[in-house]
């Protein structure tokens, strides 16, 4: 019994330690598009199931909202259970940032959009902005985005 539980414990511990880096080198190709008239940055990805819209005020100086648009079909119950989105640098998974989100369900398309607002997240929004300005890759809402082009697109706002 002890031998079996030791093996199971070892397997569980190994899987916990390795899953956090499972997608560290799996980055979807993405670009950022500035929309100056709306103070927004849009992501365009090759995966296509999720898009992000970063909303700013003051010409790109303060991140005020992030929309996480999930194009995969889902149920309203699943959408309503979406309460948090994580953001982290792949090289420091211990420094995870949790953003509180509110979600909207689209009954026509059966899709969900989550919104992280500055009013609910305060300093966390600044931390997310800092990640995109200083890191090469940012894992946000489960997708590993390249931060290349973020600063130049932000300059266009």
What's this model's pTM, rounded to 2 decimal places? 0.79
Q: N- to C-terminal Cα distance for the chain?
A: 63
Q: What is the pLDDT of residue 3?
A: 53
CA torsion sign for 46, 73, 103, 21 is negative
Burial profile 112-122: b = 16 or more Cβ within 10 angstroms, e = fewer: bbbbbbbeebe
pLDDT tens string, the chain, 157 residues long: the values are 545 444 444 443 333 333 333 333 445 678 999 999 999 999 988 766 788 999 999 778 899 999 999 888 999 999 999 999 999 987 777 789 999 999 999 999 999 999 999 999 999 999 999 999 998 889 998 888 889 999 999 999 9
Please state, as a whole number, how many other Cβ atoms lie within 10 Å of the Cβ of residue 94.
7
Kindly report the length of the chain.
157
Residue 35 contacts by C-beta under 8 Å, 6 or more apart in sequence? 41, 42, 157
């Amino acid at each position: 019994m002890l031998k079996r539980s030791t093996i199971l414990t070892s397997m569980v511990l190994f899987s916990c330690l390795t899953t956090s880096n499972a997608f560290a080198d799996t980055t979807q190709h993405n670009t950022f598009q500035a929309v100056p008239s709306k103070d927004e940055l849009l992501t365009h990805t090759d995966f296509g199931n999720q898009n992000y819209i970063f909303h700013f005020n003051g010409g790109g100086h303060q991140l005020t909202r992030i929309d996480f648009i999930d194009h995969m079909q889902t149920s309203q119950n699943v959408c309503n259970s979406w309460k948090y989105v994580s953001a982290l640098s792949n090289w420091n998974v211990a420094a995870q940032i949790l953003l509180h989100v509110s979600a909207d369900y689209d009954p026509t398309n059966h899709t969900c959009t989550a919104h992280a607002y500055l009013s609910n997240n305060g300093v966390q929004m600044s931390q997310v902005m800092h990640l995109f300005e200083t890191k090469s890759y940012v894992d946000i809402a489960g997708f590993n985005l390249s931060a290349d082009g973020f600063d130049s697109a932000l300059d266009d706002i």
